[in-house]
Chain A
Amino acid sequence: MSRLEEILSLVKHVPPFPKVAHRVSEMLQDPNVGATELAEVIQYDQVITANVLKICNAAYFGLSRKVASLDEALVVVGNDTLKDIIITSSSARYYKGPVGEGYKLEQGDLWKHSVAAGIMAKELAKHVQEVSPGSAYTAGLLHDIGKRFLSSFVADEFKQIMMKVVKEGCSFVDAEKELLGASHAELGGLILQQWEFPKEIELAVLQHHDPDALDKDPLTAVVALANALVISMGIGVGADGLATSLRGAGLKRFGITPMHLDLCMANLLEEIDRAQELFHL
């Protein structure tokens, strides 16, 4: 089996995304759905239920009071927040343990980077009308899911990858692609397809390192930009460092200036302080 085949067959064995997440998302489209019905579905997944409570009490989601039970939580949080909470609690399980070792990431770093990118994407979505904050958050949270599964292959070829990056000035993701046959972004796209996420989220994950991402679908642009800024801030960044390419000229179409970017970075730092509970799911 070639290495690429090996990598691709791994994707087929990626555990399914919690059914609860998609089910809740569907249910929330119906304005008549009540907290009791939601609780029935959510309770089915114990990890998610436990996390929902922890997340509800994180300052980031800004609830006015502490909640002690799932029923209470569901009454207090709004639908959009609930979706974000369910996605966060469903995703956390994939980022546990030494998942980013191949990228020289410490335990917890990949999750921290992902949550930060999710929050940043939501922040940026305020400037981009076509993008809903919920999709931005989800795509930001999952943009690096491919790293989780490519990590051990990156570890095998680490020296060669770094050589290309340092000596040839190649971006890390291009070096991955060249030496392993697939990049973590491509792998992420495949995984989201398998998990049956909406196409625009799959594309945003697939293209988040595309140098022309800012010229593409608005959600793709937002996620690529969020990732670039979070990387610049050094949040959960491994050996790949800032070795990624993004053509900034594409920002013009959104009317986003460098000053907006500075502000988003400053805001993110505050949001992260309030989101501490999310990092320890």
Chain B
Amino acid sequence: MKIVVGISDMKVSNKPEDMLITYSLGSCIGVVIWDPVAKVGGLLHYMLPDSSLDKDKAANKPFMFADTGIPRLFKETYKYGAMKNRLIVKVVGGSQIMDNAGVFNIGKRNHAVLRKIFWKNQIMVAKEDVGGSGNRTVSLEIGTGITHLKVSGRGEFEL
């Protein structure tokens, strides 16, 4: 079954026939994780770096922010038997519109926070396709761990 992950949303599955997909990542970031042994995978689509912006919103929609969404993504897959040291982690998105003043660097800030969280928790990123000015659609096949990425102007390919 195709399971669509919206903006500020997260889905996890261990059904081999499932495919998780999120459309149109602009400055948002998509985090794809998959455990090849437990065959469980998850996809997070967060929009902003830091939940301190609005605690109420973060409580309501934890997947809106990197710092509240990323830990939940990992923990949710652990429930299905995933183990941190086995998880294959892929990161996509974080584009930005062209602005040399850096005011619209939401994508860059989103990515910076993710790197900090991963560094602190010793999580390695296997594959990454971040930045630029294209928008991206990413999908994960739960049975195989195959991740497809579509980027405007660059076509569709396996990540």
Contact = CB atoms under 8 A, between A and B. Distances in A.
Given A241-B134, A242-B96, A235 B24 contact: yes
A232 B101 contact: no
Interface stretch (B25-33, B35-43, B111-119): B25-33
B153 A166 contact: yes
A124 interface: no
Interface stretch (B47-55, B67-75, B140-148): B47-55
Interface string B106-128: 11000000000000000000000
B95 interface: yes
Contact of B27 (A165, A232, A239): A232
Interface in B65-102: 95-102
Interface in A210-264: 211, 228, 231-235, 237-249, 251, 258-259, 261-263
B98 A265 contact: no
A237 B26 contact: yes
Contacts of B11: none
A261 B110 CA distance: 14
B140 to A, nearest CB: 18
A266 interface: yes
A222 to B, nearest CB: 15
Interface residues of B, number: 34
A162 B57 CA distance: 38
Given A165-B153, A240-B152, A265-B47, A246 B26 contact: no
B13 interface: no
Given A232-B27, A240-B152, A262-B53, A249 B103 contact: yes
A269 interface: yes
A181 B154 CA distance: 25
B99 A266 contact: no
A93 to B, nearest CB: 25
Contacts of B25: 234
A233 B152 CA distance: 15
A241 B57 contact: no
A246 B98 contact: yes
Contacts of A114: none
A4 to B, nearest CB: 25
Given A241-B26, A242-B135, A248 B103 contact: yes
Contact of B48 (A244, A246, A262): A262
Contacts of A249: 101, 103
A57 interface: no
B53 A244 contact: no
A263 B53 contact: yes
Given A242-B26, A246-B99, 7 more contacts: A166-B153, A166-B154, A241-B153, A243-B97, A246-B97, A247-B99, A266-B54
Nearest first, the 3 closest Cβ-Cβ pairs linking A and B are A248-B103, A234-B24, A234-B26
